[in-house]
Amino acid sequence: MHPESIWPPPFPFPPSPSRAWNPEEKLYLSKLVFWRLDQADTLTLSAGEIGWLIDKLATPKAVKRFQRVRDYEVTNSNTEITYIDWLDRVLSGYASFIEILNRRISTAEGERYQIYQTLQDIVTRSYRKHFNTYPSKDKREDLVAKLFLAIVENYFYDNNLEQWLWRTTQNIISSSERRSMESEESELDDEIYYGPSPGLSGQDWLAYRIQHDEIIEAIHRIRHQRYRIVLLLLYLYDLNNTELAAFFGVSVEQVTTWKSRARKSLRAIYRST
């Protein structure tokens, strides 16, 4: 158990969104996360899931998100919230998201991840509402890919997931129709983070982070949306071939082909940089 004196912080926290976090600030955030998880006995997360979340929160983008939420609360409900208040929301929402992400259902094609079916349903209904017609299979898969990437990169778990998905889908469809995805793609590809490997410290940890960030940057540069998703599911959630097939609702042979091509694309880009 971490002591109660861990908050308030011993230095200005969170850091300004105008700069990157230093190691001391990241370490303090990790202590905060574990402390709050200790206080909430109902929240259960794996070490990898916690590491991924800490890296996602230790960014200027996450600080900007906290500041927007804080300003919104003051303006709309005259309530001042602290970083701890926001962090508790994020942890609760993240635990719920992980539960939803791992939920599976049985379909005529076999077992698959419910989240993928949900994304397909939201994309199909939003597209039909927008264009008064159903999307083609390729178009639907392209929109689902963009929506999944938006979840990984932009969703901070502090608001209702379903509402966020509908709103984001509408934005993606509108942007796609206008053929002006540049600004949105910049947002979607802003930053992806992965949990640190347990037990690493000092120079080993730094070397790991440098190599990992280079790999993630290479994934960003892959143009094929589905290959990017396959690689993200491999690196972020460590899914095996069977789990990948269940996520996409395709055969293991098909997903094995996608994974092979995705890794080939990643190797080519990684080596070129």
Q: Where are the beta strands (DSSP E) in the chain?
A: 104-107, 110-113
Residues with Cβ within 8 Å of residue 78, at least 6 apart in sequence: none
pLDDT of residue 109: 67
pLDDT in tens, the chain (273 residues): 444 568 888 899 999 999 999 999 999 999 999 999 988 877 788 888 888 899 899 999 999 999 999 998 888 888 899 999 999 999 999 999 988 888 888 777 677 788 888 999 999 999 998 888 999 888 888 888 888 888 888 899 998 899 899 999 988 888 766 543 343 333 322 222 334 444 444 555 555 555 666 777 778 788 887 888 888 788 766 777 887 887 787 888 888 889 888 888 888 887 776
pLDDT of residue 193: 30
pLDDT of residue 177: 63
Contact 243, 249 (CB under 8 A): no
pLDDT of residue 208: 53
CA 152 to chain centre: 2
φ, ψ (nearest 5 deg) of residue 118: -60, -45
User: Nearest-CA neighbor of 233 among 260, 261, 198, 259?
Assistant: 259
Q: What tokens were used for 184?
A: 């949105």
Contact 83, 33 (CB under 8 A): no
SS3 57: helix
Contact 231, 244 (CB under 8 A): no
Q: What tokens were used for 128?
A: 């039909």
